Amino acid sequence: MTAECCGYPISIFFIVVNEFCERFSYYGMRAVLVLYFRYFLLWDDDLATSIYHAFVALCYLTPILGAIIADSWLGKFKTIIYLSIVYAIGQVTMAISTIHDITDANRDGTPDNFTFHIALSMLGLILIALGTGGIKPCVAAFGGDQFQEHQSRQLNTFFSVFYLCINAGSLLSTLITPVLRAQECGIHTQQQCYPLAFGVPAVLMVISLVVFIAGSGMYVKTDPEGNIMWSVCKCIGFAIKNRFRHRSSSYPKREHWMDWANEKYDKLLIAQIKMVLKVLFLYIPLPMFWTLFDQKGSRWTLQATTMSGDFVSILISTVNPILILTLVPIMDRLIFPLIQKCGLNFSPLKRMTVGMLFAAMAFVSAALVQIEIDKTLPNFPSSSESQLKVVNTYSTTLNVTISPNEHLLIESFGVQLHTSKHTYSTISCMFVNDFSLIHGEQWCEFSRKFGFGASYTFLIPSTVFSDDCESITEVEDMKPNSVHMALQIPQYFLITTGEVMFSVTGLQFSYSQAPKNMKSVLQAGWLCTNAVGNIIVLIVAELGKLPKQWAEYLLFASLLVAVSIIFSIMAYFYTYIDPAEIEAQVRKEQGLEPEEMEKETLEMEEKDEDQKNEQGVKQTKI
Ligand SMILES: CC(C)C[C@H](NC(=O)[C@@H](N)Cc1ccccc1)C(=O)O
């Protein structure tokens, strides 16, 4: 009997606090990672972005490793502890790699040995990816394990609270770590404080581990049942081989292709594999959702830069977790109960389908915003066109004749501009608020706010050469971005509503449909759909894009609608199961008590080890 509070096992308190600290650690570190690559290691944009994405992809590929370790070898509890230690060591290594004083022998404020810092930070990142990805499928499944059969309602609420903690942790850290980086610190010279920005996530990871260990005495711990993954692979391999051997029509058909393993493998194992495969098959279309979801951080961010408003980075990094924190309780307490009261069966797979449709709508909204933006953007000359600006500073009309081969454009970028008679210049200013022109002998200081995306020409009269700054006239060549960023809110709202329906439900579904000994494996399968979605985004970004951005958004929306139709058909044929019930039924059919069953499984495995040669297979077949 586990200790309870308000119907919930007390142990889950430690698990959700652990998740909060871990996500704080992960997202906090991620928020300053590209800045560290760019401004500390001095990598260019391309290298910094590629390594960042490779790291994120790795974080979503390692769950399968953690799940195998947990379900086949160490069990979830020990796997979480060991991999959290690896994770914390990774975070500390990463924080140490950002201390410039370690190699700054000449005390000029920059590291002297970049190889040292790069090697240390790469080691740190690999350990972090192993840790964060490895524990991810185990923590959610371990949380689920704390509930007993009569607590199914609380179990669903747990997954929502778990998701809230993920987003509360990520929200706080995304706000805090960039501020920490902006501080100055150092032993010999004062520099931007990366050690603090990476150090705080490292401390949070240690706290996360301590909190998890503190709950040790209260957890329900399930031991792994031998090397289950190896048994699963061998059983599937045998079923395929056996099916192939009996391909002739003279052999009677079997209900399921896995039944071809009946001759050699335990019925319970076969039943469990069938459950897992059924769910994994259902997951095939799911990466498409993440393909759209993950473009929040890329295409939508770029879209925001062509809009007006000053809160770009804050909006982008915090709007998703803020909406999650608002929408999860609204959905759980209001919308879902209301739908249920109306007599509608809003089953998990239906919720996930609706979630996909919301994501598709978000992209339609993004396309509409893009059309509005496109209306306001200037037309730039294409590779086969030229654009010419003629600045007439005389009071009368001038006739201009241009020879087709002559290049007339004289352009000067920057804030200091020297002018001479008969010369005119165009100043392209972006994000510059103060600048000065040397006009005659005098510096003319300007202080004005330039709109994002605007282009200005400053006309310095060539006829009058005096110290008169007033005579400089300003022409706005391109208007500042005028479509406000607030217009992106509907698309963020729609995609986050989709996330709540899709992702929170997917988390619950993956747990509830998995057999007891493969809970982490199915969680890892679920997380893998995210990894595949991320990889699709990378491929799409490499392959290039449609000439019109709005058309690309609509294409993605249509693809997701098509995928959600396929998914809803697959879901229609899916029958929800209670894995515990099926397991009990198989045991009953075999006339075995649970303990006897486990004994038999072990015996089967031992026998299996002995039957390595073909002869053995043939004998069991007879
Ligand atoms: C669902 C994901 C695979 C993983 C999950 N992510 C979230 O819950 C996001 N809403 C968090 C987030 C935070 C900041 C900016 C964008 C997204 C998780 O991290 O476990």
pLDDT digit string, tens, across residues 209-225: 999 999 999 999 988 87
CA of 20 to the centre of ligand 1 (A): 12
The mean pLDDT value for 581-602 works out to 69
Confirm if 455 and 428 have CB atoms less than 8 A apart: yes
Q: How confident is the model at residue 473 (pLDDT cuts 50, 70, 90)?
A: confident
The H or E element containing residue 411 is strand 411-412
How far is CA 533 from its chain centroid? 9
Residue 317 CA: which ligand 1 atom is closest?
A: 15
pLDDT digit string, tens, across residues 166-213: 999 999 999 999 999 999 999 988 999 999 999 999 999 999 999 999
The rounded Å distance from CA 138 to ligand 1 centre is: 17
Tell which residue, 165, 503, 173, 153, has the closest CA to residue 325. Answer: 165
Whether ipTM tops 0.95, in short, is yes
Length of the chain: 622
Question: Is 166 a pocket residue for ligand 1 (Cβ < 6 Å)?
Answer: yes
Q: Are 292 and 360 in contact (CB under 8 A)?
A: yes
pLDDT at 229: 85
Distance 92 CA to ligand 1 centre (A): 23
Contact 444, 469 (CB under 8 A): yes
Q: Hey, what amino acid is at 308?
A: S
Are 440 and 464 spatial neighbours (Cβ–Cβ below 8 Å)? no
Task: Report how far residue 488's alpha carbon sits from residue 300's, in angstroms, rounded to the nearest whole number.
Answer: 8
pTM of this structure: 0.81
Give CA–CA dist 531/202, Å, rounded: 24
Q: What is the pLDDT of residues 448-464, one digit of tens each?
A: 666 666 666 666 565 54
**Where do we find the tokens 């809003």?**
346
Assess whether the C-beta atom of 169 lies below 6 angstroms from ligand 1.
no
Indicate which residue's Cα is closest to atom 16 of ligand 1.
320
pLDDT digits (tens, 9 = 90+) for 516-553: 889 999 999 999 999 999 888 878 777 766 788 899 99
> In the structure, what pLDDT confidence band is assigned to residue 590 with cuts at 50, 70 and 90?
confident
Q: Please identify, by atom number, the ligand 1 atom nearest to the C-alpha of residue 136.
A: 20
Q: Please write the tens of the pLDDT for every residue from 269-291.
A: 999 999 999 999 999 999 999 99
Which contiguous run of DSSP H or E holds residue 426?
strand 426-427
pLDDT in tens, 100-154: 999 999 998 889 999 999 999 999 999 999 999 999 999 999 999 999 988 989 9
Compute, in angstroms, the gap from residue 130 CA to the centroid of ligand 1.
Answer: 18
Rounded CA gap, 63 and 136, in Å? Answer: 6
Q: Tell me the pLDDT tens digit for each residue of 104-114.
A: 999 988 899 99
Atom index in ligand 1 nearest the CA of residue 503 equals: 1
In short, whether 503's Cβ falls inside 6 Å of ligand 1 is yes
Nearest by Cα to 262 from 586, 503, 606: 586
Q: Residue 589: is its pLDDT beyond 90?
A: no
- Which atom of ligand 1 sits closest to the CA of residue 163? 8
For residues 376-404, average pLDDT:
60
Q: Is 530 in the pocket of ligand 1 (CB under 6 A)?
A: yes
Distance of alpha carbon 314 from alpha carbon 175, whole angstroms: 8
H/E/C letters for each residue in 182-223?
HCEECCCCCEECHHHHHHHHHHHHHHHHHHHHHCHHHCCCCC
Number of other residues whose CB lies within 10 A of the CB of residue 554: 20
For residue 490, the CA-to-ligand 1 centroid distance in Å is: 19
For 571, the token pair is 């879901």
